[in-house]
Structure 1
């Protein structure tokens, strides 16, 4: 995937003691995205806007806010999270991802 004529923030978004990092991207069409990496661990994230997480490398297990079961996702797959919600991610190997936001970050 390529984002031509995009604006990328210079400052990294750093979460969970540096084990999760990302860079914010605004595409030429005004879409908000973040490109990131997760190292092994278990993480919890909250959402404001609805978002879709696309796994581009590796695999992880995800548990959405109202679900009891974990679901595995691997490179080429994605999952959606509603706005004003949260999700947990369990990572056993490096995961590279793109987060697509439905509205501004």
Structure 2
């Protein structure tokens, strides 16, 4: 999906890691939420409270998911899931454009 129709967008950005990662929240008519964001090159660790689907729309990153010992390379057009109440590590190789969907368990 390249566009979202009939949504509300939070004007104020969510900022993390001294502004190196930013996102904006998109709320749909059914109250589900997604965030659209940008990650500058660097290494980050994120925590989750809900199950997430991370879709990479541009760029390249390496991820270390919970319980894994090997890094995976993810590029534009690919995605990955993160379980609820977990943390995962990211190495953004390039500027990364992403969409994060929050999923019900």
Which category describes the TM-score, using the shorter chain as reference length?
Answer: over 0.9
For residue 80 of structure 1, report the CA deviation from its aligned partner.
0.1
Aligned residues: 103
Say whether 1:23 aligns with 2:29: no
Say whether 1:3 aligns with 2:28: no
The two structures have a TM-score, normalised by structure 1, of 0.94
Structure 1 segments, 4+ long, off by >6 Å, are: none
2:80 maps to what in 1? 79
Q: Is the 8 A contact 1:54 1:78 kept in 2?
A: yes
The two structures have a TM-score, normalised by structure 2, of 0.94
Matches within 5 A, 1:1-105: 1-103=2-104
For residue 65 of structure 1, report the CA deviation from its aligned partner.
1.8
Q: Is the 8 A contact 1:54 1:76 kept in 2?
A: yes
Q: 5+ residue gaps in structure 1?
A: none
Q: 5+ residue gaps in structure 2?
A: none
User: Does the residue aligned with 2:18 lie in a helix, a strand or coil?
Assistant: helix
CA distance in 2, matches of 1:6, 1:29: 10
For residue 92 of structure 1, report the CA deviation from its aligned partner.
1.5
For residue 31 of structure 1, report the CA deviation from its aligned partner.
2.0
User: Does the residue aligned with 1:68 lie in a helix, a strand or coil?
Assistant: coil
Q: Is the 8 A contact 1:56 1:76 kept in 2?
A: yes
